[in-house]
A and B are shown apart, each in its own frame.
Chain A
Amino acid sequence: MTFMAEFRDAFFEESAEHVAAVEQGLLALDSGAADSEQMNAIFRAAHSVKGLAATLGFPEIAAFTHDMESVLDRLRSGTLAVTPKLGQLLLRANDTLKALLAAAQAGQGSEVDTAEVTGELRAALGAPTTEAETVVAPQSTPAAGAPRTYAIRLLPKRQLFASGQDPMLIVRELTELGHDVSVVCDTTRLPAIDALDPDLCHLIWVVKVTTTASRDEIANVFLFAEDECEHSVRDVTDDPSRAGVAAHAPPLKTPGSDGKPVAAEAASIRVPTDKIDALVDLVGELVISQAMVNQIASDFDMGRLGELQEALASLDRSTRDLQERVMSVRMLPVATVFNRFPRLVRDVSNTLGKKVRLEMQGAETELDKGMIERIGDPLTHLVRNAIDHGLETPADRIAAGKGDTGTVTLRAAHEGGSVVIDVADDGRGLNTKRIREKAEANGLIRPDEVLSDDEINALIFAPGFSTAAQVSDLSGRGVGMDVVKRNVEGMSGSVTLTSTEGKGSRVRIRLPLTLAILDGLIVSVGGASYVLPLLSVVESLRPTPRDVRNILGSGEVLVLRGESLPFVRLHAVFGHDVAITEPSRGIIVIAETDGRRFGLLVDDVLGQQQVVIKNLEANYRKLDGVMGATILGDGRVSLICDVQELFRWTTTRREAAEQLLAAVSTSGEEFA
């Protein structure tokens, strides 16, 4: 059914919003903060889902929502009191609705058991309600039997027009009931022309029609006009004067619903109209700029160079604007993710017996839709962690001289070209000593390794690390901090952790604004150009010959302000024969990944530029040390380096060297 297919996606998208709104509203209700308008909003949300579901042919969802709506309606009108128990029930019902929607979207019918919640909802209403009246069958009872002739008299009230009625439409509908139609207009009520009020109806009609339609069907014609138009129906079949024949009104054309193509199952995005309008405007400007350039180029001499430069500048500006606006179409507020947390925090804190207040800031910050979808799980894990491991029990908090209620803060903000999302708590902070013990026990670090507190804390992101003293109900769900980190890095983002013992900790996720564009540092190696993600670049410098040393076990290192950093020769990684191999003649770019810094030897740094990331795997195959490719302004293809993988290049080499070292059992000798 095309109509359904057309709106299926929109239905699920909007319903998800309504479900979220109901949840938020119910939570506000729970904390006693809901007013009657909020109550109304909750009701409306459920009501909308019901109407849509029924219209689009999801009777199960419509029936279930009907029960929810009934309870909400009673709450709204005040005939049912708000109790915590009822709040819980409605939250459960909302969860069931969510499951129903998910099942329907996945194309599974009655996988979800609604009986229990439905039963409780009906019990809350006080009486076993009958089945919901969701699908109204069109009442068409074809009247059989011989046709009868009726004389139907329409006596409209003078104010008929005020309600938007058109008596001619009623007359026409009557004439279409059958054949042998005659219409007589009675003008006796019509006043003289100077006394005539054109806003009033003065005419009376008599329609004679021979039809098989029943009296009910005739009455149905007056459905909307019952109060505004008196009418009488007289059976004149046996009346000899019935032979009046008038012209048939032309039959109403029935617009065909020509088969629209079935909407594909593609993910859709809802874009505010003003964003699209802005795009259209910009495209207009772009076309004008382009026309200007064309016009100058068609008749160019050096005297017009200034004009050309100006036109190009305007083209440049329009293109950049357009790029930004098109990107913004993919942007959604992080609120779409944040909104799930009030419920989560409430549930988790109830389970753990902790008192938690959730603060959310910057929920309006916009992020690429793709990332919005992928950031939910990592954030959920972090928030859960903050409550489970970060916050103390009320008793512990009071003993530590804090208030008994802990605070978890979710904060999103723009910072430069990236979006930063913080998950912070004011709990006990990380126990650096215990992390170190654990990491040593797990063999992640050697007992004699010298690490700063931050470096130790960062170890909780290492694969296979868990700090929970005992496995709680909430931890051990299969998503560790290492997965959080991997997910974030999969989006070209980074995770950092700061913690103060006794004061709390904060995990900061930094994400690029979009996955499609990257701020890059363009470098040249052996005549080719490569792009390094600017986000990972710390600085670049030309070392003196003395800064570069060869340390056994660590390979080549760069000594920078007293610190030895490993470095990688990009020309060796990418196999360029003709390149600068002497570090003091090239440039070393210092990059940072996972909180560790290392150098990349390149021939030269060419500049900074925004580049569009093209997927290399889709077009060629996965290459080590490369995350994608781009096309530079001069039309050449340039590879985008994967800094994280390049760092592994240094460590694998170092590890190989270390093994060699262990074999010959010498240590720490330095070669100039």
Chain B
Amino acid sequence: MAKTALVVDDSTTMREMVSYSLKEAGFDTLTAGDGQQALDVLQGKSVDLIISDLNMPVMDGITFIKQARQRDELKGVPILMLTTESQAGMKEQGKAAGATGWLVKPFNPEMLLKVIAKVVP
């Protein structure tokens, strides 16, 4: 069965680019435009990977990761943050919130797959 990934980003294009790369890698993808939407999408669903932007409206990525980790079914799911080099300090905050790793923008599909291999069996 194909693995499912959730992509959370307020930028539609970024969301589509990450989803596209994931689909190429054989994932089914779900998307959400902010943390709250992501929590709603995850309601009653299990996923194999979550990739989330940090700076988003309504609910930011750090809050989302913290809340996701509160849910039993999401405790062990790998969560990657989408960060940029200029967001120093965000990695630490994200890790503290429960993120598994990070993906640095600008990303390319090859890089994404390398990082995913680190966290998804």
Contact = CB atoms under 8 A, between A and B. Distances in A.
A169 B13 CA distance: 30
Nearest to A176: B117
Q: Closest 6 interchain pairs by CB? A: A224-B101, A54-B106, A164-B100, A164-B78, A55-B106, A48-B11
B14 A52 contact: yes
A14 B13 CA distance: 7
Interface string B88-109: 0000000100111110111111
A33 interface: no
A27 B117 CA distance: 45
A397 interface: no
A7 B100 contact: no
Interface string B11-24: 11110110011001
B56 interface: yes
Contacts of A465: none
Nearest to A37: B57
A168 B57 CA distance: 36
B18 to A, nearest CB: 10
Interface in B68-104: 69, 75-79, 84-86, 95, 98-102, 104
Contact of B108 (A3, A164, A165): A3
Nearest to A44: B55
Contacts of A56: 17, 106
Given A55-B17, A161-B75, A199-B75, A135 B106 contact: yes
A660 interface: no
A569 interface: no
Contacts of A47: 55, 84
A252 B104 contact: no
Contacts of B55: 40, 43-44, 47
A3 B107 CA distance: 11
A3 B12 contact: no
A41 B57 contact: yes
B106 A138 contact: no
A25 to B, nearest CB: 12
Interface of B: 10-14, 16-17, 20-21, 24-26, 55-57, 69, 75-79, 84-86, 95, 98-102, 104-109, 111, 113, 117-121
Given A55-B105, A169-B118, A10 B12 contact: yes
A169 B117 contact: yes
Bin the interface of chain A by size: 35 or more
**Among B69, B99, B117, residue most surrounded by chain A Cβ atoms (within 10 Å):** B117
Contacts of B16: 7, 10
Contacts of A52: 11, 13-14, 17
Contacts of B76: 161-162, 164, 199
B17 A62 contact: no
A165 B77 CA distance: 8
Contacts of A437: none
Taking chain A's interface residues, is the majority helix, strand, or loop, or is none over half, making it mixed?
A: helix
Contacts of A6: 20
A371 to B, nearest CB: 24
**Among B14, B104, B120, residue most surrounded by chain A Cβ atoms (within 10 Å):** B14
Contact of A257 (B13, B24, B86): B24
Interface in A349-392: none
Interface of A: 3, 6-7, 10-11, 13-14, 37, 40-41, 43-44, 47-48, 50-52, 54-56, 62, 66, 69-70, 133-136, 138, 161-166, 168-170, 173, 199, 221, 223-224, 227, 252, 254-255, 257, 270
A227 B95 contact: yes
Given A10-B16, A51-B14, A255 B117 contact: no
Contacts of B10: 44, 48
A173 B106 contact: no
A56 B26 CA distance: 22
Contacts of B11: 14, 48, 51-52
Nearest to A252: B117
**Among A55, A164, A199, A255, residue most surrounded by chain B Cβ atoms (within 10 Å):** A164
Contacts of A37: 57
**Among A37, A161, A162, residue most surrounded by chain B Cβ atoms (within 10 Å):** A162
Given A52-B11, A162-B76, A164-B78, A3 B57 contact: no
A136 B69 contact: no
A224 B105 contact: no
**Among A47, A48, A163, A227, residue most surrounded by chain B Cβ atoms (within 10 Å):** A163
B121 A55 contact: no
Given A41-B57, A169-B120, 14 more contacts: A3-B108, A10-B12, A14-B11, A40-B55, A48-B14, A54-B105, A70-B86, A161-B75, A162-B98, A164-B79, A164-B100, A199-B75, A223-B118, A257-B109
A52 B25 CA distance: 21
A161 B109 CA distance: 26
Contacts of B108: 3, 55
Contact of A3 (B20, B56, B98): B20
B100 A163 contact: yes
Contacts of B105: 51, 54-55
Contact of B75 (A14, A43, A162, A169): A162
**Among B11, B13, B56, residue most surrounded by chain A Cβ atoms (within 10 Å):** B13
A166 B100 CA distance: 10
Contacts of B100: 163-165, 224
Contacts of B119: 164-166, 169, 224
B32 to A, nearest CB: 12
B106 A166 contact: no
A169 B57 contact: no
A618 B78 CA distance: 56
Contacts of B118: 169-170, 173, 221, 223-224
Contacts of B121: 166, 168-169
B77 A164 contact: yes
**Among B69, B108, B111, residue most surrounded by chain A Cβ atoms (within 10 Å):** B108
13 contacts: A7-B13, A7-B16, A10-B16, A11-B13, A40-B55, A51-B84, A56-B106, A164-B79, A165-B119, A166-B78, A170-B118, A224-B102, A227-B95
